[in-house]
Amino acid sequence: MKDMHPVDLSARIGALTLKNPIMPASGTFSEDLADVFDLDVLGAHVLKTIMHGTRSGNPTPRVCDMQAGMMNAIGIPSKGIEYFRDQTLPYWADYRAPLVVSISAHSVDEFARLCGEVSLPGVTAIEANISCPNIEADGNAFAMRPDTTHEVVTRLRAETDLPLWAKLTPNTGEPVEVARAAEAAGADALIVANTLLGMSIDIATRRPRLGNVMGGMSGPAIKPIALRMTYQCARACDIPVIGCGGIATLDDVIEFLIAGASAVQVGTATFQSPTVMARLIAELADWMAAQGIGSLEEIIGTIEAPEAGTCI
């Protein structure tokens, strides 16, 4: 009973079809991972966020451990748009997997300008990092509020014909309203979500464990939050949702798909096991074959849930 019905792993993200639903989360992936496995097995390549100019990033320490996860305050070190165009983009031209370029900025104008400038041949889609909590003071990012989300996504939409993905933040209290605002402004897909703002103190020195004082939590500890938001946003929007947050195992992948994700991003798990994405792709194919599932459509959004209550 093997391979009687070949499994189709392809994932549809709007007009794009990825050969499988597993891709890296921005900031946890670079050409350096090609030392470990063939990166063309991935559904897409999502690069670390770039900004228009050069930035050195945050002071060290930039990472610390926590139970079932980590925190980071890297601060988006960026070599700028020229380096991206002249060095980064040519490197990825040798790969067949679609290239997703993550961008961010401090202002709407700068964001829009960068969006236009990275809409280059070889770029498949643009991921707008409107949620990185390290950039704006106290974690305030565009995606904290529906109005600022709508404003920036509208401007980005006007600057590019490429598929535009908006990466949302779990730090907002209005995830559904923010998701709807991004959709209304013309986003083609949502990434749900980014790191959750946190903090850690070394009690012996009374110093924060991160040079930036606060940082973004990631890893298995935040998975239930990302899963809940994926469920909420997928129900509220017609555009595809790409789940992101603590995904490390095959069960995690399937859980996000059932909750409504059309694909997933894997981030922190790669730091523990650099080969995890390649393994997840193979495990998903094996699981679907064993279950007699032919395509992802038979999994995505198939949650058997009563209407969620407003109280818990």
Partner 1 sequence: MTHLPTIVPVPVLQGLRPRCSEANCKVVSNTPVNGEYRLLVLEAPEAILDCQPGQFFQLLCPAPEGEHPFLRRPMSIYGYDKAAGRLEFLYKVTGAGTRGLATLAPGDGFNVLGPLGQGFSMQDDWQNLMLVARGVGLATLAPLARMAQEKGRKLTAICSARRPDLAMSVDLFESYGAEVIIVHDEDGSSAPEALRPLIEARIAETGVDAFYTCGSSRLLRLLQDIGARHGIPGEIAMEQQMACGLGMCQACVRNFRVGDRIIQRRVCREGPVFPISEAI
- Least gap, CB of 232 to partner 1 (angstroms): 27
Active site residue 132: yes
Cite the DSSP H helix spans in 108-248: 108-117, 146-159, 175-184, 223-236
Cβ proximity to partner 1: between 61 and 301 the closer is 61
d(CA 229, CA 223): 10
d(CA 236, CA 149): 16
Q: Does 45 bind partner 1 (CB under 8 A)?
A: no
User: Partners of 202 in the beta sheet?
Assistant: 207
| Set 64, 115, 132, 244: catalytic member | 132
**Which of 238-274 are b and which e, b meaning 16 or more Cβ less than 10 Å from the residue's Cβ?**
ebbbbbbbbbbbbebbbbbbbbbbbbbbbbbbbeeee
Question: CB under 8 A: which stretch of 33-41, 80-88, 150-158, 173-181 binds partner 1?
Answer: 33-41
Q: Does 184 bind partner 1 (CB under 8 A)?
A: no
Q: Which of 12, 53, 64, 287 binds partner 1 (CB under 8 A)?
A: 64
Question: CB under 8 A: which stretch of 112-120, 130-138, 242-250, 274-282 binds partner 1?
Answer: 274-282
Angle at 190 between CA 187 and CA 195, to 5 degrees: 135
Burial zone of 5 (CB within 10 Å; 0-12 exposed, 13-18 middle, 19+ buried): exposed
Q: Which of 11, 16, 22, 28 binds partner 1 (CB under 8 A)?
A: 28
- Least gap, CB of 29 to partner 1 (angstroms): 6
Residues forming the site for partner 1 (CB under 8 A): 27-30, 32-38, 40-41, 48, 56-57, 60-70, 72, 74, 77, 219, 270-275, 278-279, 281-282
Catalytic residue IDs: 132
